[in-house]
Amino acid sequence: MDSKEKIEADFRDFVTARSAALHRAAYLLTGNWATAEDLVQTALTKTYLAWKRIGDIGSVEAYARRVLYTTNVSWWRRMWRNEHPTEILPEHLGNDHTDEHVERDLMWRFVRKLPPKQRAVLVLRFYEDMSESETARVLGIAAGTVKSQCSRALSNLRTYLAEAGIEMAALDTPGRRRTAT
């Protein structure tokens, strides 16, 4: 097998093994499946183009995740420039969900209100269950920055939740996911 065939086979194996996790992370960042799919496709394309430079197969996922998060921030910044404030906000009609679904939906709406870097830190720390050092490596920032961004994000979420009359004690424990009973 020549080098190009090996790269293509390795890339196919990587996509098969990790694309579902990348799609979930992208959805949590964007809040929209179509945008998440575009984000993953862009991240995978950039990862494929850089495959020879990445070298170690163990570094591929970290590289792909970093591209995913930095591309999302880039898209968010571009979108923000095109946004124009209006005096009256449209009413959002809620769907008829159970309390748990409504609470989860509200939580992710609040997460979406966070700045992109804080949101990325929360997704990696709480959803992806990464350590501070792993999160720092994926985002290309210092571990101290991860700690401060996480602290600010949790503080902002507590404020949003308190304003909505919801108390969430689970916000203080990274890596502990709530399970359905």
The structure's pTM equals: 0.51
Quote the tokens at residue 66.
Answer: 């970093």
Mean of the pLDDT values across residues 106-129?
A: 90
**pLDDT at position 151 over 80:** yes
Lowest pLDDT segment from 45-54, 62-71, 122-131, 167-176: 167-176
Domains of the chain, each with CATH number or no CATH: 3-81 (1.10.1740.10), 99-172 (1.10.10.10)
What pLDDT, on a 0 to 100 scale, did the predictor assign at position 80?
57
Q: How far apart are CA 63 and CA 140, in angstroms?
A: 10
Q: How far apart are CA 38 and CA 40, in angstroms?
A: 6
What pLDDT, on a 0 to 100 scale, did the predictor assign at position 2?
66
Q: What is the pLDDT of residues 14-69, one digit of tens each?
A: 999 999 999 999 999 988 899 999 999 999 999 999 988 887 767 898 899 999 99
What pLDDT, on a 0 to 100 scale, did the predictor assign at position 1?
61
